[in-house]
Amino acid sequence: MDSTAQTTLNALNAPTQAPSFRPLYDQIKILLTQSLIAGEWKPGESIPSETDLAARFGVSQGTVRKAIDQLAAENILIRRQGKGTFVATHTAPQHQYRFLRIFANNGEKHHPTTRFIDLKKGKASAVAARLLDVKIGTPVITLRRVLVFAGRPLILDEVVVSAARFPSLTLELAEASRGSLYSFFETHYGVRMIRAEERLSAVSADVFAAEQLGVREGAPLLAIDRIAFTYGDKPVEWRRGLVHTDGYAYFNELA
């Protein structure tokens, strides 16, 4: 086992005020996640074989396999039969819109196109600071855009991120990107979103939202507040989407 892995395992097993047992496979999962955070394996790249990782960490191949199974279940790693295990990426067509939960009522799948509105730089409000885990007043970037489904403006997005994590982000740079915003964050800044939390509420369209979505002022909209996290469960993005759900619905499969 290398010295870094041994140090981490020792720390994980050290007694605390409230001792708790952490299974060995969970410790290996943490070590693998730390390697992802450090950029040892980039999105889309393969990771070492289970045999090599078992030798590296000084554990059994079965323990490594269970840790990888956990990361695969969380869509952090992807197993490919006969090819190995790869770091999941938002650039893959099937994953570009993995967090998008708005679907047409008739069952048709529509991949949205993006119309960017503006990009502004400012300071984190108390709410933004809490949700992004930064200090109040930290420089942030707010990006506004409309997602268009089958020719219809359907979602008005306001995306807030830390300026330090996305330096030199401009409206022109975002407009030149291809695919989803998350694939752009991943390819240009090396920041991959691995999970998200969403809260839904009903709101009325204000003047700006009504203009952008082509609805009357006061029309009912679905508000989706999302916090997206990267490796290590670090919040990276706060997004509020206002959705005109005529002919569409929020769909989430629970398992």
Would you give per-residue pLDDT tens digits along the chain (255 residues)? 555 555 445 544 444 444 457 889 899 998 998 898 888 888 888 999 999 999 999 999 999 999 999 888 887 898 988 889 988 877 765 555 677 889 899 887 778 899 999 999 999 999 999 999 999 999 999 999 999 999 999 999 999 999 999 999 999 999 988 778 888 998 889 888 888 999 999 999 999 999 999 999 999 999 999 999 998 889 999 999 999 999 999 988 776
Backbone angles phi, psi at 251, to 5 degrees: -130, 130
Is residue 131 classed as helix, strand or coil in its secondary structure? helix
Q: In the β-sheet with 152-162, what is the strand arrangement from edge to edge?
A: 113-123, 139-149, 152-162, 234-243, 220-230, 195-204
Q: What is the pLDDT of residue 36?
A: 86
Does residue 57 sit within a domain?
Answer: yes
87, 121, 148 — which closes off a domain?
A: 87
Let me know whether 146 and 241 are in one domain.
Answer: yes
- Residue 46 within any structural domain of the chain: yes
- Enumerate residues 6+ apart whose C-beta is below 8 A from 113: 147, 148
Does a structural domain hold residue 93? no
Residue 245 lies in a domain: yes
Tokens of 197: 């939390």
Q: Are residues 80 and 57 in the same domain?
A: yes
pLDDT at 11: 46
The predicted pLDDT at position 19 comes to 44
